[in-house]
Amino acid sequence: MTGIPAYLRIAGDLRARILSSDLAPGAKLPTESQMMRDYGVSRTVAKWAVAVLKSESLVEGRRGSGVYVRDVPRLVREAHGRHMRTADGPTWSFARDAGRAGHRPGWEHQSEHTTADPAVAVRLAIEPDAPVMLTRYRYLADDAPAQFVRSWEPLAITSGTPIEWPEGGAAVGVVARMDHIGVHIDEFTERVTTRSAAADEIEALQLPLRGAHALVIERTYFAAGIPVETADIVIPGDRYELVYRVQVD
């Protein structure tokens, strides 16, 4: 059994220093020559290690200057209780996350009527091609992209109501909006995966053009067992911590 390749070991060491703030945002990474001396590796191996960190959006190169730790907002997303109706503050969950981290929240959105593809239909327990409201969001923390979201709601539930258009009604946030029309959300599920970022996600989140990966949270809200909204929440791994607190009976 072979050991961990040298370039991954170096990248792991530097990643740990970045995440612990030993190498703080704006700090300059050791040069390739320094890595060669410290780890006893070739320049090619040092370059590969830096390339790994660039692919994770942890560092950025500055022409003629070197490679530096990126300064990006890092938010904490606490799943437990984040949608409680009794919570103080905004009903919009991202605004809570950003506010706790001391950032100014913002968002862009675009909604349209469309039909459910087979995968979305399964998640919403509706027929394929049934009418849905599709909304795309880009969430910002101090004007820096933090999330890209696609949300689908069955129009059988919302059509003709004051919340049909997600950002044009009397309430903000899925739970508050559904409450407004008497649909009481009592449960949600989340499935977290990682994958290569799609082209529109790379553009929206300002990710590196090559090797960009993202966390994807597949979330579905239920009211008395009936799915009322499902979403793909796409998050750059360097800008978020996902925190789950689960009660064990």
- Over the stretch 56-101, which tens digit does the pLDDT of each residue have? 778 888 988 899 998 765 556 666 555 555 555 555 677 666 666 6
CA dihedral 168, 170, 173, 177 (to 10 degrees): -110
Confidence check: pLDDT of 1 > 50: no
Q: What are phi and psi of 20, to 5 degrees?
A: -90, 0
- Token pair, residue 195, equals 């994958």
Please give the pLDDT value at position 131: 98
Average pLDDT (143-148) is 86
Share of the chain above pLDDT 70, in %: 82
Please give the pLDDT value at position 106: 82
**According to CATH, what is the number of the domain 75-243?**
3.40.1410.10
Ranges of each domain in the chain: 6-69, 75-243
Average pLDDT (219-241) is 88
Confidence check: pLDDT of 102 > 90: no
Q: What pTM did the predictor assign?
A: 0.67
Convert the pLDDT of each residue in 195-204 to its tens digit.
Answer: 888 889 989 9
The residue whose two tokens read 């022409």 is 63
Domain 6-69 and domain 75-243, same fold? Reply is no
Convert the pLDDT of each residue in 107-134 to its tens digit.
Answer: 899 999 999 999 999 999 999 999 999 9
Question: What class, spelled out in words, does domain 6-69 have in CATH?
Answer: mainly alpha
